[in-house]
Amino acid sequence: MTIGDVIRKYRKNLGLTQEEMAARLGVTAPAVNKWEKGNSLPDVALLAPIARLLGISTDELLSFRDDLTDEEINRYLKQVQKDLESKAFQDVFISVKEKIEEYPNCEKLIWQAAVILDAGRMAAELSDKESYDPAIFGWYERCLLSEDERIRNQAADSLFHAYFWKKDYEKAARYLAYFSLENPERKRKEALVNSRTGKRAEAYRAYEELIFVGYQHMQMTFNDLRALYMEDEDHEMTRKLVEVSSSAASVFEMGRYNEVCYGLEVAAWEKDAAWTARLMQEILESIETIGDFTKSRLYQHMTFKSTDSDFTAGLKQKLLESLGDETFDYMQGNAAWEKLSHKNANTARIVNK
């Protein structure tokens, strides 16, 4: 509230008229009226007497509210949305503008009010909707200075899309600087701009990189979640996540090896001999497909290093050697496992020769 709002509020709480307050302070009634309307401010020498008269501290008298509570903001914005359904857009806009002028530092109010009015003018199909650009875009610009990363990002996002749809791609691209380099939204928006500015190859590559990196993050999340379920002895969800990881590898065309490798740890954890033997056999047989994602058209604009045959041979050898690890002690006597172990011994003899 402004100082005038504070004076009016507490004067009315005391049941004083402007004339009565003026008489007690030794000023004119028009002077009090001007304070309350915000047309002028009390003389500094009058601040203490006004505070004493109103029964408040000078701090309260001078307390310009920089912010609203989340509850107050939500309640106000709900009313704005209702008003947009029943009142002229111009009237609602003016009312919101006055509210923002009353709370010029309330970033959450400014950001969310701008979003609501921005969408409201489009829904109303106004013929002069672009006349509101300076005010609405100005509010977004103010939010770009916020210390709250979420507000900055949302404001930058709104400005990016606003100029993108205006086909001002150069200006739209400027707002990407407000997104961190690690934020995938920045790369996606760069791809959007590139797709409209003749840089098709760059756009394709950026989208493919987003898919590829997104897949990797997704599998890491599945792995961590699977480990958590294993700690809690939840066998059903653990197996479910193996299925999900395998399906994801298939959908994202990562190659047969990546489709079958995720269950081995769980099979060993459960000491499921039949499943362990089957998985190990499939893993060994598909080892050469570990780099098959490089052949997928999903990633055709990306450049990958070719899979080294020595690498796949070394990986296969390590897998064969692991057959005798303590982890797989429960596999002793399993016919399929013994067959793989026999193959391991033959491989070792060939290597030694």
Helix 149-165 to helix 107-123 angle (10° resolution) is 30
Cα(24)–Cα(31) distance, integer angstroms:
13
> What's the gap between Cα 177 and its chain centre?
16
- 348 and 207 in one domain? yes
Last residue of a domain, one of 201, 235, 254: 201
Cα(18)–Cα(4) distance, integer angstroms:
12
Cα(206)–Cα(189) distance, integer angstroms:
10
Q: Record the tokens describing residue 216, joined without a space.
A: 């990797």
Phi, psi of 327 (to 5 degrees): -55, -35
Closest CA relative to residue 47, chosen from 34, 31, 39, 59: 59
Q: Give the three-state DSSP class for 350.
A: helix
Cα(320)–Cα(339) distance, integer angstroms:
11
Q: Do the beta carbons of residue 215 and residue 248 sit within 8 Å?
A: yes
Amino acid code (one letter) for 173: A
Could you read off the pLDDT of 97-130 as tens digits, one per residue? 988 887 877 899 999 999 999 999 988 888 899 9
Cα(54)–Cα(50) distance, integer angstroms:
6
- 212 and 194 in one domain? no
> What's the gap between Cα 43 and its chain centre?
49
Whether 187 has a pLDDT exceeding 60, the answer reads yes
- 119 and 36 in one domain? no
Spell out the residues 6+ positions from residue 188 whose beta carbon is closer than 8 angstroms to its own: 206, 207, 210
Last residue of a domain, one of 61, 78, 103: 61
| CATH classification of the domain holding 28 | 1.10.260.40
Provide mean pLDDT across the span 209-222. 97
- 238 and 225 in one domain? yes
Residue 79, pLDDT score: 95
Provide mean pLDDT across the span 293-302. 96
- 159 and 128 in one domain? yes
Residue labelled with tokens 């939840």: 234
Closest CA relative to residue 259, chosen from 250, 251, 269, 268: 250
Last residue of a domain, one of 169, 201, 233: 201
Q: With 0.75 as the threshold, say if the pTM is over it.
A: no
Whether 232 has a pLDDT exceeding 70, the answer reads yes
- What does DSSP assign to residue 333? T
Residue 333, pLDDT score: 87
Number of domains in the chain: 3
- 207 and 179 in one domain? no
Cα(24)–Cα(20) distance, integer angstroms:
6
- 151 and 287 in one domain? no
- 209 and 348 in one domain? yes
- 186 and 91 in one domain? yes
Cα(112)–Cα(68) distance, integer angstroms:
13
Question: 350: pLDDT confidence band, cut at 50, 70 and 90?
Answer: very low
| CATH classification of the domain holding 148 | 1.25.40.10
- 86 and 145 in one domain? yes
Domain housing 101: 70-201
Cα(53)–Cα(46) distance, integer angstroms:
11
Considering the chain, what is the average pLDDT of its residues? 90
Amino acid code (one letter) for 36: E
